[in-house]
Amino acid sequence: MEKHELWQAVLSKIEPALSRPNFLTWFQGTGVMDLAGGTATICVPNGFVREWLQQKYHKSLLHAMREIDTDIKEIAYVIGQPENTGSMFKDRFLRRKRPSMPSPFMSDDMSIKELSVNPETSLNPRYTFANFIVGSFNELSHAAAQSVVKNLGTTYNPFFIYGGVGLGKTHLIQAIGNEVLTHHPSLKVRYVPSEKYMGEIVDALRNQQMGALKEKYRAVDLLIMDDIQFIARTEKMQEEFFHTFNILYERNRQIVISSDRPPQAIATLESRLRSRFEGGMIADVGLPDFETRFTILKTKAETKEIALSEDVLKFIAEKIKNNIRELEGALNQLIMASKLSAAPIDVDAARKIVASHAAAPRKFLSHKKILKVVADFYDISERDLVQHSRKKDVVRPRQIAMYLMRENLKTSYPSIGDKFGGRDHTTVIHSCEKVAQDLLINPDLEDELKAIRERILIV
């Protein structure tokens, strides 16, 4: 079978399981580059897609490929352009209309079901306290999470945990659920990412089954809501969640919530929800230090029964600082490389593998990126941010963007002014000073800036 025919067949198998935007996002511009020695080499447009395919779709891809060609044993992902599959993709997949669109809120995590996920609770049994590594960056949230298990519904209710991408929030909050169930199997636990919750509400409204849905969430002993920041975008969803929250809270049922930022930094969060969250325990996860990164790599390499030298692990731990998922990604690439090559992996080989991570442009800091992250963070448009809009809710984000440019890029005041529609340099100075002053009296702002800085590093 030709390479592009194989890929076409694989995509046809994958496509029905995904929402259309998802499918297009992750598979447009991909192709099979090589099929030799049992390894299918798939080319992808950039490092981000590569990481995503590896993390989310690797199993499904491999499965689909093997169904078609049993000789294929492994998949390697490289950044590059497919030869002639571009037009095939357009003809086959772009023009076709799908009969029905899945819910617009369907999240990536949900699109291909992991078999091991418990259908009752939606918990993934792989997230446990036993395999969660504790360092100074997460010890507070870890301790709080354990205390939640011991004092369910009483001491820390709600428990709100926040931090950047790939730092273990989902792992930790699911570990709470799994641990509770090992001690009290009869308790009702439910884990749900807020995007999925919203999708369920949309469906229930369409099918007139809101009653059943309310019952489902209001009958639990422990509700774990992941990535609550998405819910803040729509008032109706917040409204619904607020009622469920109150009912659970009044019955002393435990609520655990995660977010990429603290409650006060979720711009569109209704104040009554925010004050509810603030009434419980709020803990943050920061960035892991070198020792912890090393321990994480070492432990994961051991569980995968792969012998990698300490030098190689130290090298990786040194290079990848901001994201534990990326750390795992690099380790998996090393493991794959070591399976494919006869020689043991040394630091040089590791350097090549990590270089492909580090080469991604997302590590590069620019004015544009600061604007994008700040606009995203406050859920406003970049246009409003830079133009002369006087809307109240853009004034502060704008000051913060200016402050971050000054702080991180050492840009001169006049040229920051230029970036914001030709504002005068005195305005810029005033803005930066305002933020600096606010920082002295408002500890929440410090948290907010920290969350933004982390995103700037990670995005």
Q: Is 170 in the site for Mg ion (CB under 5 A)?
A: yes
Query: What three-state secondary structure class fits 44?
Result: strand
Q: What is the DSSP string of 198-251?
A: HHHHHHHHHTT-HHHHHHHHHT-SEEEEE-GGGGGG-HHHHHHHHHHHHHHHHT
- Which residue's CB is nearer to Mg ion, number 169 or number 357? 169
Q: Is 141 in the site for Mg ion (CB under 5 A)?
A: no
Please tell me whether 216 is known to bind a ligand.
no
Residue 448: CB atoms within 10 Å: 22
In the block, tokens 């590059």 appear at 80
Find all residues with CB under 8 Å of 299, minimum gap 6, and list them.
Answer: 131, 133
Instruction: Using alpha carbons, select from 55, 17, 56, 53 the residue that is nearest to residue 32.
Output: 53
Q: To the nearest whole angstrom, how small is the minimum distance from the Cβ of residue 196 to ligand ADP?
A: 14
168 interacts with, out of ligand ADP, Mg ion, none, CB within 5 to 8 A per kind:
ligand ADP
Stretch that binds Mg ion, among 106-114, 165-173, 276-284, 339-347 (CB under 5 A): 165-173
- Which residue's CB is nearer to ligand ADP, number 190 or number 406? 190
Stretch that binds Mg ion, among 49-57, 81-89, 170-178, 243-251 (CB under 5 A): 170-178
Structure tokens at 134: 């504790």
Rounded CA-CA distance 19/22 in Å is 5
- Which residue's CB is nearer to ligand ADP, number 296 or number 401? 296
* Position 447, amino acid: D
Please tell me whether 170 is known to bind a ligand.
yes
- Which residue's CB is nearer to ligand ADP, number 48 or number 132? 132
DSSP state letter for 94: I
273 interacts with, out of ligand ADP, Mg ion, none, CB within 5 to 8 A per kind:
none
Q: To the nearest whole angstrom, how small is the minimum distance from the Cβ of residue 255 to Mg ion?
A: 17
Rounded CA-CA distance 301/97 in Å is 44
Please tell me whether 168 is known to bind a ligand.
yes
Phi, psi of 338 (to 5 degrees): -70, -25
324 interacts with, out of Mg ion, ligand ADP, none, CB within 5 to 8 A per kind:
ligand ADP
CB-closest chain residue to ligand ADP? 168
- Which residue's CB is nearer to Mg ion, number 45 or number 286? 286
Find all residues with CB under 8 Å of 47, minimum gap 6, and list them.
Answer: 79, 356, 357, 359, 360, 362
Q: To the nearest whole angstrom, how small is the minimum distance from the Cβ of residue 378 to ligand ADP?
A: 20
Find all residues with CB under 8 Å of 109, minimum gap 6, and list them.
Answer: 56, 193, 196
Contact by Cβ (8 Å): 370, 422: no
CB-closest chain residue to Mg ion? 170
Q: To the nearest whole angstrom, how small is the minimum distance from the Cβ of residue 130 to ligand ADP?
A: 10
244 interacts with, out of ligand ADP, Mg ion, none, CB within 5 to 8 A per kind:
none
Please tell me whether 135 is known to bind a ligand.
no
- Which residue's CB is nearer to Mg ion, number 169 or number 398? 169
- Given the rule CB under 6 A, which residues bind ligand ADP? 131-133, 138, 163, 165-171, 296, 324-325, 328
- Provide the binding-site residues for Mg ion, judged by CB under 5 A: 169-170
List the binding residues for ATP. Answer: 166, 168-170
List the binding residues. Answer: 166, 168-170
